[in-house]
Structure 1
Amino acid sequence: MTVLCSLPMSAQKRGQRLSPEEMVNKKVEQLDKVLTLTDSQEKSVRSLYTDFYSKAIKREERKAKLDELNKSIEALLTDEQKKAFTEWNSKKAERASKRKQ
């Protein structure tokens, strides 16, 4: 019984949803890794994601809101970054469709 109690607390984190703040941090880190955002871009993207994840969005509205978010992010990017962003989103969509199968 003592052995079970000594397991790390982080094991309980698996399967749980991330908080809005954690989601924002995760998305900004992912984008920065792919796009090498400037400080100004990172601040703006963080603000957009914070706004997106702080609202309760109905499932049927989610795709439209996500499209709006992506367009807002694209408006902040250079042409080269836009290409990388489009590729990143395409790969994300591919992985999501594979999980659904």
Structure 2
Amino acid sequence: MSVPGKENQYRMANLVEDVQKMTGLAKKDARTAVDAVVYSIVKGTLETKYSNIVGLGKFVVKTTKGGTRSAFGREVTSVPKNKVKFAPSRRFRKVVNGEIDITFQSGDDEDDE
């Protein structure tokens, strides 16, 4: 998998701009909203070891085993570490694979049912 150049990456500034356009918030307020969402996902994942964001995917903290093994004729010791795994939602995968179109749905739409 090749990584695109920086000019072709979707970055935080792009996300803030999109939130600003979709919500009508001022740029500063859109940045605060994005920062709050990112902070909440990270905090929730750290506290519970699992976060499931509908439409985006799951974040899971897994602990690797530490231990000692022989490598190249010498003992190598590894320390247990936490790794974060991300599994995209089924809808996200379908959008990426072009099976369905991406649509913006505001949380306000759910109240209308």
Could you say whether these structures have the same fold, taking a TM-score greater than 0.5 normalized by the shorter chain as the test? no
With the length of structure 2 as denominator, give the TM-score of the two structures: 0.29
**Structure of higher RCO (CA pairs closer than 8 Å, 6+ residues apart):** 1
Q: Which has the higher strand share?
A: 2
Bigger helix share: 1
Q: Quick check: which has more Rg, 1 or 2?
A: 2
